[in-house]
C-alpha cells in the first residue's frame, strides 16, 4: 500500500461518547499526526431510529475536548454515511451484476423450518434461484465455497477464517438500503482509508469486509483491532454497569490532558516506566505495532491519580479557572454573592495538592463561603469528646487577642494542648470541627487565618453553645 496514511474514526450518534471510542480516536489521531497522514471523521448516521443531532454535536465537542478537531490540518470531515447512500446502492448493484451477490426472499421462519434449528446461519437456499430485485428481497453476498480469508492484523497477527464457515451475509435489505457492513466498506474505499484501527469487537466483521473490498476491486486496508477495555472485575466496560461516557468524566472534573494521557496507555505503552507525560511525547513514541492484544483494564483509581498529578501541575491562575464551574452558581452550595475569589486564592494552593478530581473542591472550601460550617454529624460525634468544651473555651480566649497569623494561631493551640495534656492533633480536632464542620480538610491554621477572627470566634461560640445544650 502506497501513499499517505489515511485513518478514520467512524462513531454512530446514538449516545454519549464512550471512553473506548475516545481511545480508538486517539490511537488513530496519533498515527495520522506522526506519519503526516490524515484523520477522517465519519459519522455513521444511518440508524434513523436512534440517531439524534445532539449526539453528533456531542461527538464533535468530545473529540475537540481531547485535542482532535478541525483546527489541525490533519483533520478531515466530518463526513456523514447517509450522504453516501447512492454510492452504497451502486456498490450493491455492482456486486449483483458481477454475480458476487444474489437476491433472497427467505424469511427467518422458512429458514428454521428447513434447517430445524434457530441457531444455524443462512443455508444458501436462494443462491442459484436467479431471483431478480424486488421489494422485500434482501441482497446476500456470495461467500467463497472453499479456502480461507486471511486477515493480517497489526495487533492480533494473522487470523484465518474458513470461507465455508461464513454464511452468505446480507449486504442490502429488502427495501434496497445497504446494511452497515457494505456501507462501511464502500465509505472506507471512497475515502481512501489505508488503516482501519478499531475495537476488538469488530474483528468478526473483518473477513466479510475484506471480501467486500476485494469484490469491489479495492486493496483491503491495514487492520488493527485494539484490545477490549475491561473494568476492575475484568468485565468488558458496559454503559449499563460502568461509567463509560467521556463527558461524565470531564463534567466530574477530570482534566482533558489527564484523560488523554490515561487513555493512550490503555493497551499501549511508550516502552519505559514513565506514565505521566505530555501528549506530544506520547504521539512521538506511538507505534501501532506496539499495541498489546491483552485486555486493557480501566482503573478509575489510577485515572484519578493521573488527574491529581495534572491538577498539581497547573499554575495558580489555571487552577482557579479550572475550579470556576464548581465555585459559582448553579453548582456551588453557597449563594453566588458569598464567593470571594481573593479568599479562594488564599487557600487554593492548600486544596490543589489534595484534589484528585476538581469537583471535590467544594468539599474543601465550602466552610469558607457558607454562613455556617457544614453539618457533619459523624465528625461532630468523633471530635466533641469530653474535654472539648474546655479546649474551645481556652482557644477562644487566646485567639481573641492573638496576632492573626497561622504561626501564632498554631502556637496558641499548642499551648492549650499542653495545658490539657494532649497532643496537638487531639486538641485541634474540636476546633477544626467547630470552624470547618469536618474532622479532615485543609491545614487548620492557614484556613483559620483566611476565615478571619470574627467569623472564627463566632463559630467557636456556636459550637460551645451546642455542647452546653447537649450537656444540659
SS3 labels along 216-235: CCCCCCEEEEECCEECCCCC
Q: How far is CA 203 from the centre of its chain?
A: 23
pLDDT in tens, 159-169: 999 999 999 99
Residues of the chain with pLDDT under 50: 1
Q: Which CATH architecture best describes the domain 377-471?
A: Orthogonal Bundle (1.10)
Task: Give the up-direction half-sphere exposure of residue 371: CA atoms within 13 A in the CB hemisphere.
Answer: 3
**Residues tagged active-site:** 239
The residues, any chain, with a CB within 8 Å of residue 148's CB and separated by 6 or more, are: 160, 161, 162, 163
pLDDT, position 330: 82
Other CB atoms within 10 A of residue 350 CB: 16
Q: How many angstroms separate the CA atoms of 59 and 38, rounded? A: 18
243 is in an annotated binding site: no
323 is in an annotated binding site: no
pLDDT in tens, 203-233: 999 999 999 999 999 999 999 999 999 999 9
Q: How far is CA 101 from the centre of its chain?
A: 41
pLDDT, position 2: 53
Burial class (CB in 10 A: 0-12, 13-18, 19+), 246: buried
pLDDT, position 365: 97
Burial class (CB in 10 A: 0-12, 13-18, 19+), 56: middle
How does DSSP classify residue 18? B
Is residue 181 within 8 Å of residue 141, measured between CB atoms? no
Determine how β-strand 229-230 pairs with β-strand 138-141: unpaired
CA-derived radius of gyration, the chain: 31
126 is in an annotated binding site: yes
Amino acid at each position: 500500500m502506497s501513499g499517505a496514511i489515511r485513518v478514520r474514526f467512524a462513531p454512530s450518534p446514538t449516545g454519549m461518547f464512550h471512553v473506548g471510542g475516545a481511545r480508538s480516536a486517539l490511537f488513530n489521531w496519533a498515527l495520522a499526526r506522526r506519519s503526516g497522514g490524515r484523520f477522517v471523521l465519519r459519522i455513521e448516521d444511518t440508524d434513523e431510529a436512534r440517531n439524534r443531532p445532539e449526539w453528533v454535536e456531542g461527538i464533535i465537542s468530545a473529540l475537540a475536548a481531547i485535542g482532535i478537531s478541525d483546527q489541525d490540518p490533519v483533520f478531515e470531515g466530518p463526513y456523514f454515511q447517509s450522504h453516501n447512500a447512492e454510492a452504497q446502492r451502486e456498490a450493491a448493484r455492482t456486486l449483483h451484476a458481477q454475480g458476487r451477490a444474489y437476491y433472497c426472499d427467505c424469511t427467518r421462519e422458512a429458514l428454521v423450518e428447513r434447517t430445524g434449528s434457530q441457531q444455524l446461519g443462512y443455508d444458501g437456499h436462494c443462491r442459484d434461484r436467479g431471483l431478480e430485485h424486488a421489494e422485500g428481497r434482501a441482497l446476500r453476498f456470495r461467500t467463497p465455497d472453499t479456502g480461507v480469508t486471511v486477515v493480517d492484523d497489526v495487533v492480533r497477527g494473522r487470523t484465518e477464517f474458513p470461507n465455508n464457515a461464513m454464511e452468505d451475509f446480507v449486504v442490502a435489505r429488502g427495501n434496497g438500503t445497504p446494511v452497515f457492513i457494505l456501507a462501511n466498506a464502500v465509505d472506507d474505499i471512497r475515502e481512501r482509508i489505508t488503516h482501519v484501527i478499531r475495537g476488538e469487537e469488530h474483528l468478526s466483521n473483518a473477513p466479510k469486509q475484506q471480501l467486500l473490498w476485494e469484490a469491489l476491486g479495492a486493496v483491503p486496508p491495514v487492520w488493527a483491532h485494539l484490545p477490549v477495555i475491561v473494568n476492575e472485575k475484568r468485565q468488558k466496560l458496559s454503559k449499563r454497569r460502568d461509567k463509560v461516557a467521556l463527558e461524565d468524566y470531564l463534567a466530574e472534573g477530570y482534566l482533558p490532558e489527564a484523560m488523554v494521557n490515561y487513555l493512550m496507555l490503555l493497551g499501549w505503552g511508550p516502552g519505559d516506566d514513565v506514565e505521566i507525560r505530555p501528549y506530544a511525547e506520547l504521539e512521538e513514541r506511538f507505534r501501532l505495532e506496539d499495541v498489546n492484544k491483552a485486555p486493557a483494564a480501566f482503573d478509575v483509581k489510577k485515572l484519578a491519580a493521573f488527574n491529581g498529578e495534572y491538577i498539581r501541575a497547573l499554575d495558580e491562575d489555571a487552577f482557579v479557572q479550572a475550579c470556576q464551574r464548581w465555585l459559582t452558581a448553579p453548582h456551588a452550595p453557597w449563594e453566588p454573592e458569598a464567593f470571594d475569589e481573593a479568599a479562594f486564592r488564599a487557600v487554593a494552593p492548600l486544596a490543589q495538592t489534595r484534589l484528585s478530581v476538581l469537583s471535590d473542591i467544594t468539599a474543601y472550601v465550602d466552610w469558607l463561603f457558607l454562613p455556617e460550617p457544614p453539618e457533619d454529624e459523624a465528625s461532630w460525634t468523633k471530635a466533641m469528646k469530653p474535654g472539648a468544651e474546655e479546649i474551645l473555651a481556652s482557644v477562644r480566649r487566646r485567639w481573641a487577642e492573638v496576632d492573626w497569623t497561622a504561626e501564632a494561631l498554631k502556637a496558641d493551640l499548642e499551648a492549650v494542648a499542653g495545658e490539657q495534656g494532649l497532643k496537638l492533633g487531639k486538641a485541634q480536632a474540636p476546633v477544626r470541627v467547630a470552624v470547618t464542620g469536618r474532622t479532615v480538610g485543609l491545614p487548620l491554621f492557614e484556613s483559620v487565618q483566611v476565615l478571619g477572627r470574627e467569623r472564627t470566634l463566632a463559630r467557636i461560640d456556636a459550637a460551645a453553645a451546642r455542647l452546653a445544650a447537649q450537656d444540659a
